[in-house]
Chain A
Amino acid sequence: MSGRSLNLVGLVLVGVIGLAFMFLTPRLAELDTVLDLTVYMIMAILALSLALIWGYGGILCFGQSAFFGLGAYTYAIAMFNIGESTLPVILAVILPAAFAALLGYFMFYGRISDVYLGVITLTVTLILFNSVNSTAGPEFHIGTARLGGFNGIPGIPPLNLPFNKSAVIDLEGMFYLATGALLLTYFGLRLLLASQFGRIIVGIRENERRAELLGYDPRAYKLVTFTIGGALAGFAGCLFANWGNFVSPTIFGLAQSAQIIIWVIVGGRGTLIGPVIGCIGIQWLSAALGANQPSGGADVWSKIFANAPLILGIILIAFVLLVPKGLVPTAADIVEFFLGRRRRRREQRGFEPQQAE
C-alpha cells in the first residue's frame, strides 16, 4: 500500500469514527458523560491549534493558553454586553487572532530565536494571568461585564443559534457543536496542510534558510500560521466559556499552558490526530485519577494513584525519554517496520524482482 492510499484510509477512518461518535454518543451515554466528552472535544480543538503551529510550523509557543483565555474572556464580556451570541463568537475568534498577529509580527519580523519565542509567549500568558487576576474590584468592568479578578466571570449566557436569541443551544446541542467543530477543524487543517501553503510551512520548519534562499519569506508564513493557531485557540476558548458558563484567570495559568504542550508531545508532533488522542487520553486519565480520591486510612499506593499531577508528570517524563516522537508517529514507525519486513521477505522469495538501488 502506498503512502497516499494509507493517507486516504486514515482520513476516511477518522471521518467515519468521528461521525459515529458524534451521533451515537448522546443516544448511548448518560448526560454527565456527554458533558465530560464535550469538554474533551473543545480541548482537542485547542490541541489542534498547537499541533499546527508547533508540530507543523515549528513555532514552539508556550503560551497557547493566552489565545484560549482571550477567546473565553472575549466571549463572556461580549455576551454580557450584547446578549445575542452571533457577534460574541465572531469577536472571540477575531480578537485572539489579531492579538496573535500583533505578537507574531514583533516576534517573527524581529527575528527572535526559537528559545526566546517560547519564553516570550509563556511570559505573555502569565502577564495576562496576573492582569486579569487583579481585577477584583467593581471598578474593573467592560460595559456591563464585571471582570471579577480571581473569582472570574460566572453565569455566562449560553450560545444561541445565529441571530436567534431565544433558540438557546442546550447541553446535547453543545456536544454536537463541539464535536462537529473538532471534525471541521481537523479536516480543515488537513486541507490547509495539503495545500501549497502547508508544504511551505513544513519546508520552513525543516530548513528556514533554504526556504528563504528559494524565495519564500519565512516571517510571513510563520505569522499566518501563528495567527490561524491563535484564531483556533480563541474559538476553543469561546466554546469552553460556554460549556461551563464560567471563566477564571486560571485559564491563562502555567498549568493550562503546560497541558497543551503535553498533549502534543504525548500524541506526537507533525501529526494532527496525535495531539487529539493525546489531549483526550490525558484528560480522561486526569479525570479518572481525580475521581479516585482516597478516603481516610487508604494505603500509600492509592494515595499515589490519586495524585493526578504526579502521575501525569511521570507519564510526560516517560514519553520524553522512551517515546520522544509521540504516540502516533511511533505507531506509524512500527507499522512501517512490519510492512517493510513483509515486503523484504516477499522479495527474498523471488517475487517482484526489484532493481538494485
Chain B
Amino acid sequence: MAEPLLRTRDLSVHFGGVKAVNNVNFTLAERELRCLIGPNGAGKSTFFKMLTGQLEPSHGEVLFRGQDISRAHAHQIARLGIGIKTQVPSVFDGLSVRENIHLGVSRLHSGERARRLVDEMLERIGLRDAADHVVGQLAHGQRQWVELGLVLSTDPQLILLDEPAAGMTHEEVHKTAELVREINRTKALIVVEHDMQFIRMIAKQVTVFNRGSVLVEDAVENILRNPLVRDIYLGKQAAA
C-alpha cells in the first residue's frame, strides 16, 4: 500500500490533567478531502496546531509523507508543504492585500514571475479591485479570503482550513465551497467546519472528534444518519 500523505500515530497532548487530544490515529491519502467535525472543545483546532508545529505533542507522532514532523518548527513544516488557514484570520493587517499575497508568493518565486502570480491570486480570491487596500480595514469575510490567498500562494500539498465559512454570507459560503472543490483537484485538504450545509457541499469522508478522540469516521451520508453523532453534535440541528 502506498504511503499516505499524512498519518498520526497515538497523537496526544495534555494540558495539566486535561487530555485535549488523546491517542488520535488519523490517516489522509494524497489529494483527499476530509472534513473534521465535532463540538466545541473536541480538540480539532489543537489537532491542527500539532500538525503545523505550533504545539508540541505530549506523545505520539505526525508523519508527513513518511517523515516525522512532530517536533519540527512551524516554518519547517510550512516549507515541507502544509499550509493552514486559522480560525481567526491571521493575516498581515498593516499591509495591503497585494503586499500580503506577495509575502506568500515570494517564498518560492521572485521578480516578474512573482508579480504575475500575485495578480493571478488576487483574481482568484476576487480581491483585485481591493489590492491596494490595507487588510486591517477590510470586512471579516474579505480577510478570510486574503488568508486563503496567502496559504494558497505558498503552494502547499496539504491545506488545513479551520472554519473557512465562519462569518461569511450565504453567497460567500457557496463561493468558498466551490474554491475548496477546485483546490482539491490538485491538493489534499482537511476542513474543520460547523456549517453542515457547507460540509454537504464539499465532503465525501468525515471524521468526528469528541473529547479529544476520534469518535467515528465514515462517509458524509452515514455520518449525518449516525445516531451517535446526532447525540453529541447534531442533536439541536437535527431536531430543528
Chain A residues near B (Cβ < 8 Å): 3, 196, 199-200, 202-203, 206-207, 209-218, 355, 357
- Contact (Cβ within 8 A) B106 A196: yes
Chain A residues near B92: list those with CB within 8 A.
203, 206-207, 210-211
- Contact (Cβ within 8 A) A199 B99: yes
Cross-interface CB contact of B79 among A196, A215, A218, cutoff 8 Å: A215
Closest chain B CB from A329 CB (angstroms): 12
Chain A residues near B91: list those with CB within 8 A.
207, 210
- Contact (Cβ within 8 A) B83 A213: yes
Cross-interface CB contact of A199 among B73, B83, B103, B150, cutoff 8 Å: B103
Closest chain B CB from A228 CB (angstroms): 20
- Contact (Cβ within 8 A) A216 B102: no
Residues of chain B from 126 to 164 with CB closer than 8 A to chain A in the complex: 129-130, 132, 150, 154
- Contact (Cβ within 8 A) A214 B154: yes
Cross-interface CB contact of A216 among B75, B86, B99, B129, cutoff 8 Å: B75
**8 other contacts beyond A199-B99, A199-B103, A203-B103, with CB at 8 A cut-off?**
A203-B92, A209-B54, A209-B90, A211-B92, A212-B74, A213-B54, A214-B104, A214-B107
* Complex: A207 Cα to B89 Cα, angstroms: 11
Is B93 close to A, CB under 8 A?
yes
* Complex: A297 Cα to B35 Cα, angstroms: 83
Closest chain B CB from A218 CB (angstroms): 8
Chain A residues near B54: list those with CB within 8 A.
209, 213
* Complex: A213 Cα to B54 Cα, angstroms: 9
* Most chain A C-beta atoms within 10 Å of own C-beta, residue among B103, B104, B132: B103
* Complex: A218 Cα to B75 Cα, angstroms: 9
How many residue pairs link A and B with beta carbons under 8 A? The number is: 63
Closest chain A CB from B32 CB (angstroms): 22
Chain B residues near A357: list those with CB within 8 A.
129-130
- Contact (Cβ within 8 A) A217 B102: no
- Contact (Cβ within 8 A) B79 A213: no
- Contact (Cβ within 8 A) B78 A213: yes
Is B41 close to A, CB under 8 A?
no
Cross-interface CB contact of B103 among A214, A217, A355, cutoff 8 Å: A214
Chain A residues near B130: list those with CB within 8 A.
357
Closest A residue by C-beta to B129:
A357
Is B95 close to A, CB under 8 A?
yes
27 residue pairs A–B, Cβ–Cβ below 8 Å: A196-B106, A200-B103, A203-B92, A203-B95, A203-B103, A206-B93, A207-B90, A207-B91, A209-B54, A209-B90, A210-B92, A211-B92, A211-B103, A212-B75, A213-B52, A213-B74, A213-B84, A214-B78, A214-B83, A214-B104, A214-B107, A215-B107, A216-B75, A217-B75, A218-B75, A355-B129, A357-B129
Closest chain A CB from B13 CB (angstroms): 18
* Most chain B C-beta atoms within 10 Å of own C-beta, residue among A3, A213, A216: A213
Chain A residues near B102: list those with CB within 8 A.
199
Closest chain B CB from A200 CB (angstroms): 7
Q: A203-B92, A207-B92 are in contact. Are A215 and B154 (CB under 8 A)?
A: yes
Chain A residues near B99: list those with CB within 8 A.
199
- Contact (Cβ within 8 A) B150 A214: yes
Is B226 close to A, CB under 8 A?
no
Closest chain A CB from B146 CB (angstroms): 11
Is B94 close to A, CB under 8 A?
yes
Chain A residues near B104: list those with CB within 8 A.
214
- Contact (Cβ within 8 A) B84 A207: no
Closest chain A CB from B37 CB (angstroms): 23
* Most chain B C-beta atoms within 10 Å of own C-beta, residue among A199, A214, A218: A214
Closest chain A CB from B164 CB (angstroms): 15
Chain A residues near B75: list those with CB within 8 A.
212-218
Closest chain B CB from A353 CB (angstroms): 15
Chain B residues near A218: list those with CB within 8 A.
75
